[in-house]
Structure 1
Amino acid sequence: MLEKQIEKYWNKRADGYNEAVQEEMACQKKQAWESLLLKYIGQGENLQVLDVGTGPGFFAIVLAGLNYSVTAVDKCQDMLAQAGKNAEAGENIRFLKADAHAIDLPNESFDAIVSRNVTWLMPNPLEVYREWYRLLKPSGKVLVFDANWYLHLSNPEFKILSDKYRRLALEKGYQDTITPEQKEESDAIARKLPLTYEMRPSWDQYAFRSCGFQQIEVEENISPLVHDEIEQILYYPTPMFAICATK
């Protein structure tokens, strides 16, 4: 089953992914993400925010530091274990194991839902967005940060560009964070996922409208804010976008 394969893969990646998150916590990227979250969610103590696909807890911890009341979910137990270790005692975070499309919480529980690098990995992304619509309070917001990470597997033009900028990044000192075996496994999973074959964020705009969201705001390229120089080269063909949909 694809969902079990995804869960197994990311459980194995938990330690390495946690190292990358620790590095983000210790540099200017943390402040960049804080600014973006405040820009879209707004300031307000005790706003109820759901972090979907929290991984080792980066967004959950940043959100709690902004005085939001945070619930963070992930389907991978090893990721949640790392998140629990990373969160400081006293931070207002509730961690739950759950699938993005089936979160066992009441309707209209949250003022905002955020995710980063999550929806590309969903076997059923439209179902995920419908679930998030259910969980949002009236006028609540979904905030998605993602990219066309695996479009090169389905689009030959993107493959050429991806290979070109990967070579340039390697020349600048980029080092792979995953093994060749992990890359092969990740590619095999991505080939089975629907968003590998869609151009985003155009697809997301359509999906949010079909779910009933009223207002949609898109930033096509936030990479200069959240990526370092080498990452901006590496991800030049597939910059990270931000999309904010209001219920």
Structure 2
Amino acid sequence: MSDADTLSNFDLREEIKEYWGKRAETFDTQPGHEIFSDEEHTAWIRLFEKHLGPGGSRRVLDLASGTGVISHLLDDLGFEVTGMDWAEPMLAKAREKARKRGRTIRFLLGDAERTMEASESYDAITCRHLVWTLVDPAAAFAEWHRVLKPGGQLLVVDGDFVNPGWFAKLLATFSKTRARFGLLAQPEAKPADMMETHRSILSRVHFSRGARAEAVVDLLRQAGFTQIVVDTDLKAVHRAQRRHLPFFKGLERATQHRYAICARK
């Protein structure tokens, strides 16, 4: 790797860190980030329990823990939870949630690609919507393999947020037709700088063309993971989230390539 490549990666990683720090302010207001109903909470609990089983005081590292949404789910399942994120504003919100709930969840400032945690120190590792942002997923997966105990489990919840599903394609065609006849409503205004930052980051991460499950699985195998299972049945989660999304947005989300991947060391 050249010095230029190293500098480029450092710059990108710092941009990602800054971006998510800014997103912390509104993170919990968005469906798909925070959980807004008992129905969705139950759906997530069942998904995690399906692949990881009950916590039983096992140690779990929740990477890119953000405001602690998944960390609290894991705590509800009985795990001894460490949440790690590299955006301090996210961690501040996560710690406040734990304080209000009276929970003793450990939240650390750290990098998911270089955790600095001891080898073979966790029974499980989880991450939601992290893999698609990784600069070097091969190195990250090797790091996670190192940190897990023998027999430990990894659960990745992620998706391809680049390539539109069939419904999004249909909706785009419909929108073009409406626009041609002057029938298209004005799109909702969004902060232009944040949208541009998101596009710029996405164009430079490893999965810039979309984090397809098969590509993630291939890298996990290369890192030494075995017994890899891809679960695309997230219907219960999507159904609960749709109640808090605009109608078409909910359908679009349900037809995206989203998945849970469970693997073992």
Q: TM-score, normalised by structure 2?
A: 0.80
Higher Cα Rg, which structure? 2
In the other structure, the counterpart of 1:122 is: 134
Opposite residue 75 of structure 1, the aligned amino acid is W
Opposite residue 67 of structure 1, the aligned amino acid is G
Tell me if the contact between 1:220 and 1:242 (Cα under 8 Å) persists in the aligned partners. Answer: yes
Tell me if the contact between 1:161 and 1:237 (Cα under 8 Å) persists in the aligned partners. Answer: no
Tell me if the contact between 2:66 and 2:85 (Cα under 8 Å) persists in the aligned partners. Answer: yes
In the other structure, the counterpart of 1:52 is: 63
Alignment of 1:95-106 (within 5 A): 95-106=107-118
Once the two structures are aligned, what percentage of the paired residues are identical? Answer: 30
Distance 1:124 1:163 in 2: 33
Structure 2 gap segments, 5+ residues each: 1-10, 176-186
Matching residue within 116, 125, 129 for 1:113: 125
Tell me if the contact between 1:72 and 1:96 (Cα under 8 Å) persists in the aligned partners. Answer: yes
Q: Deviations over 1:19-47 (max 9, x none)?
A: 23785154421111111111111114211
In the other structure, the counterpart of 2:180 is: none
Opposite residue 197 of structure 1, the aligned amino acid is R
SS in 2 for 1:13: helix
| Paired residue total | 235
In the other structure, the counterpart of 2:212 is: 200
Distance 1:206 1:23 in 2: 30
Opposite residue 172 of structure 2, the aligned amino acid is K
Structure 1 gap segments, 5+ residues each: 168-174
Distance 1:239 1:106 in 2: 34
In the other structure, the counterpart of 1:84 is: 95
Opposite residue 16 of structure 1, the aligned amino acid is T
In the other structure, the counterpart of 2:25 is: 15
Distance 1:160 1:35 in 2: 28
**CA shift at 1:122, angstroms?**
0.9
| Gap change, CA 1:209 and 1:162, over 3 Å in 2 | farther
Distance 2:198 2:125 in 1: 26
Tell me if the contact between 1:40 and 1:143 (Cα under 8 Å) persists in the aligned partners. Answer: yes
Distance 2:158 2:20 in 1: 17
Distance 1:177 1:109 in 2: 46
Q: 84-93 or 101-110, which moves further after superposition?
A: 84-93
**CA shift at 1:134, angstroms?**
0.5
Distance 2:163 2:25 in 1: 26
Q: CA RMSD in A?
A: 2.6
Distance 2:68 2:210 in 1: 28
In the other structure, the counterpart of 2:169 is: 161
Distance 1:217 1:40 in 2: 9
Distance 2:146 2:170 in 1: 37
Opposite residue 244 of structure 1, the aligned amino acid is C
Alignment of 1:1-247 (within 5 A): 1-20=11-30, 24-88=35-99, 90-151=102-163, 161=169, 164=172, 179-198=191-210, 200-222=212-234, 224-227=235-238, 228-229=241-242, 230=247, 231-247=249-265
In the other structure, the counterpart of 2:178 is: none
**CA shift at 1:186, angstroms?**
0.4
Tell me if the contact between 1:165 and 1:235 (Cα under 8 Å) persists in the aligned partners. Answer: no
**CA shift at 1:151, angstroms?**
3.5
**CA shift at 1:62, angstroms?**
1.1
SS in 1 for 2:26: helix
**CA shift at 1:55, angstroms?**
0.5
Q: TM-score, normalised by structure 1?
A: 0.86
| Gap change, CA 1:184 and 1:45, over 3 Å in 2 | same
| Gap change, CA 1:217 and 1:5, over 3 Å in 2 | same
Opposite residue 234 of structure 1, the aligned amino acid is E
